[in-house]
Amino acid sequence: MLMKFLFITCLLVASHSANASLITHSGYTRAEASDIVSGNGLEWLMWDQTANMSISQALEAHTAQGWRLASNLDMAVLFNAFQFGKTDWSGAENLGQVAYTPWQLSEVSPHNAFTSLFGSTFNSALCDGPYPSSWCDGYAANDPLILAQAFYGSDDDQDGFYKSALVYDDFSYALQNNNDKVDGYAVLRAASWSPDAQSLSYGVALVRSASAVAVSAPASLGLFIIALMLLAFLRRSTLGGNNSLLSHKAKVEL
């Protein structure tokens, strides 16, 4: 009976671990309860975790946990995985790159998936200042602007400036005095930011080598309970065997 209970408990623990909710797109994955995105051999800290921080501040806060600033190549690999309407994103230091896709009333896009994975760094104060309100309202009541922006870079030319990456879902911009609707908008800007620069709605892209997958806390607790129960079962079996042996010995002596 006890072994049957242990078997059922193992199944429940395994089921809990297997059914952990995951967000996955273009080879990158994040558990909903986690702030770490994994893909292509790297872990990325969600960009919203460093929102409104400078590169210097983010590194000071997170270097001890193994995080480093994402390089030009790291970001190019990431953008080429999602593509965003472009398949030749470059890691060049001083090259600005832009790609956009026509607007559609749909949330199924690599831009939306990206912000779901890396978090939205949007700050509503943008709509009260540098951005026109029309950029922030969206094109439907349930379809607002979502964006993820972050500083990154390698400073390959050692001029002290770093790059920035932008991914927008449901964006508009002024062109010939008209507001053009854009579903997805992605940019890798040329290096122009100092390591101490801060800007509304920008985070910092931090990466580290992918670590071994840790057992989740609920699964660890379940395995610990199973181990204790198994030890109790083995002890009971051992004691039962010893009692039988003593009983048999007593009968022989009689």
Q: Tens place of pLDDT for every residue, the chain, 254 residues? A: 555 544 444 444 444 444 469 999 999 999 999 999 999 999 999 999 999 999 999 999 999 999 999 999 999 999 999 999 999 999 999 999 999 887 776 677 899 899 999 999 986 666 666 555 555 555 444 566 788 999 999 999 999 999 999 998 877 654 444 556 677 889 999 999 999 999 888 999 999 999 744 444 444 555 556 656 665 655 666 555 555 544 544 444 55
Pairing of strands 146-152, 162-175: antiparallel
Contact 118, 148 (CB under 8 A): yes
First to last CA, the chain: 35
Rounded to the nearest 10 degrees, what angle do helices 110-118 and 72-82 cross at? Answer: 130
Q: Is the dihedral of CA 31, 37, 38, 40 positive or negative?
A: positive
Asked if 111 and 117 touch (Cβ cutoff 8 Å), the reply is no
User: How far is the C-alpha of 126 from the C-alpha of 131, rounded, in Å?
Assistant: 5
